[in-house]
Chains A and B, each alone.
Chain A
Amino acid sequence: MATVFKLENASVAFEKRAVRHTSLRCALGSIGKRNRTTKFYGLSGVTLAVEEGEHVGLVGRNGAGKSTLLRVLTRVITPQEGSVYVDITKHIVPLLELGIGFQPDLTGRENCFLAGTLMGYSRSEISDKLDGIVRFSELGEFIDEPVKHYSSGMFGRLAFALATDVEPEVLLVDEVFGVGDEFFMRKCIIRMQRLMQSGTTSIFVSHNLDFLVTQCQRLIWLDKGCIVMDGDPQEVASAYREHEGLAS
């Protein structure tokens, strides 16, 4: 089995008070002075490998570095230290939030093409899938309306339908299951499960531990940018719950 992601000792540091740094005065003022800015590590020394077909869950408190890790895996952030390997021959679809690449003034249909090309699909591939996307998202004729006139539920449904209908080989999901009403959510989870069974490598960030335990083969617990535990979902989940004082 091929490795899809491999991180070695990867660290991502954010500078605090980054606001000041975008002015020339500050840059000129700091010439000659020792670097006085304080750094905040979003990730520090993370070593991790994900194999093809694995389903991995990420848990941790707010600010533990889960989203930063996903951004490193999608190559949006390049860590300042350590090395990152990403198999870019795969279709990686990041669902860091719904509707990435959507333009409010474009119609739903146009946005499907725009966001679809971003995910690496050709025009004809998207044309073929469009009917399915419209059906799944239950948008009907609204597909030709600008998405700025959509309700948030419609927007979310379209984005979810597009991201999962294109049959990604790797799916990175950051807490986006609050889409639409209860019935649509159920549809989403069924579709997610089907994708996972068909061999899509997937990495989930979620605060819904029960979902992660039942769906993933591996759970990673992050805290303050470091991996605390990486292994069997049951064990990691109970250790995490215990640590956070949630054990019942």
Chain B
Amino acid sequence: MDAASRGFLVFYVKSQLKLKYRYTCLGFLWNFLEPALYLIVLSTIFSVVNRMNIQNYAVFLFGALVPWRYFEQTVNSTMVSIVGGEWLLKKMYVSPFTFPLTRWSIASIEFLFSFVVVLLIFAFLKKTWTVHLVILPLSIIPWAILGLGVGLMCAVLFTFFRDVRPIVQMLLMFVFFSSPILFRRDLFAEHTLQAMLLGLHPITYFAALFQKPVYYGAWPSWKDWAITFAVGSVALAFGFYLTDRFKEKFYFYL
């Protein structure tokens, strides 16, 4: 990436973050209010209709739901980034990575704001605090890498085939409901088919990075770290490869 694209990336991200709230009354506060309202609604609903028999279900749910929402947000907004950058990409040279990285950075920065709120809500919900929570800033890194990688792949695909968007959204929904975010992994007895499938599900390990410190009061295992970093890096490398491979064709499909 050349210096001009980098400079543009930084300035554009800043201006988009400023613009988003420029014409709202509460302005910057929305960064905190939005996730807070979302989580308050969810926790109220689940504390009223709690049939999952998980103690402190809200804490469990938020543990993995918060990073998942971030992941979903990055993939969705990065996917449309190259097509959305048409206004510039057709008129002036910028690195093909500029717009995907812009969208990803905005989603990541917004997530960091919402994370502050999440920690405050945890403070209300959780009865005991454990030292394990300090690992959370590290736990987000594999999610961020995975989000950028998958986002880049989708961005390239979406540029060439516009029907990719509903397909990706459907796949994301499938991955969400099939992974232990809504339910506990030990819902299924060991050696059952479901348990085995969950063991093969990459998001199981991504979710563990948050669920273990938040809900179980434990450190994520080495296996969790190894698998998540490996999956994330492969996705990122493939995303970069695809973008680089097809960058010269984007113009004709914008």
Contact = CB atoms under 8 A, between A and B. Distances in A.
B175 to A, nearest CB: 20
Given A22-B253, A76-B251, A100 B19 contact: no
A113 interface: yes
B252 A110 contact: no
Contacts of A242: none
Given A76-B93, A88-B2, A24 B161 contact: yes
Contacts of B93: 74-76
A78 B248 contact: yes
A213 interface: no
A114 B248 CA distance: 24
B128 to A, nearest CB: 47
B161 A22 contact: yes
A31 interface: no
B162 A96 contact: no
B216 interface: no
A118 B22 CA distance: 23
A22 B11 contact: no
Interface string B232-254: 00000000000000001001110
Interface stretch (B37-45, B58-66, B84-92): B84-92
Contacts of B89: 76
B12 interface: yes
A94 B91 contact: yes
A148 B92 CA distance: 21
Contacts of A246: none
B3 interface: yes
Contacts of B91: 71, 76, 94, 96-97, 100-101
A114 B8 contact: yes
Interface stretch (A13-21, A48-56, A151-159, A177-185): A13-21
A224 B72 CA distance: 47
B50 interface: no
Contacts of B10: 117
B162 A100 contact: no
B92 A94 contact: yes
A39 to B, nearest CB: 11
A123 B248 CA distance: 30
A100 B8 contact: no
B4 A118 contact: yes
Nearest to B9: A117
Interface string A209-247: 000000000000000000000000000000000000000
Q: How big is the B interface, by class?
A: 20 to 34
A18 B162 CA distance: 12
A25 B163 CA distance: 9
Nearest to B94: A118
B92 A76 contact: yes
Q: Which of B89, B164, B251 has the most chain A CB atoms inside 10 A of its CB?
A: B251
B194 interface: no
A126 B162 CA distance: 38
Contacts of A21: 160, 253
Interface string B1-20: 01110011011100100010
20 contacts: A18-B253, A21-B160, A22-B161, A23-B162, A25-B163, A71-B90, A74-B92, A97-B91, A101-B88, A101-B91, A103-B15, A103-B19, A110-B15, A114-B12, A117-B8, A117-B10, A118-B4, A118-B7, A118-B94, A123-B7
Interface of B: 2-4, 7-8, 10-12, 15, 19, 22, 88-94, 160-164, 248, 251-253
Interface of A: 14-15, 18, 21-25, 27, 71, 74-78, 88, 94, 96-97, 100-101, 103, 105-106, 110, 113-114, 117-120, 122-123
Given A88-B2, A120-B4, 19 more contacts: A15-B252, A21-B160, A21-B253, A22-B253, A76-B91, A76-B92, A77-B251, A78-B251, A94-B91, A100-B88, A100-B92, A101-B88, A110-B15, A114-B15, A117-B7, A117-B8, A118-B88, A118-B94, A120-B3
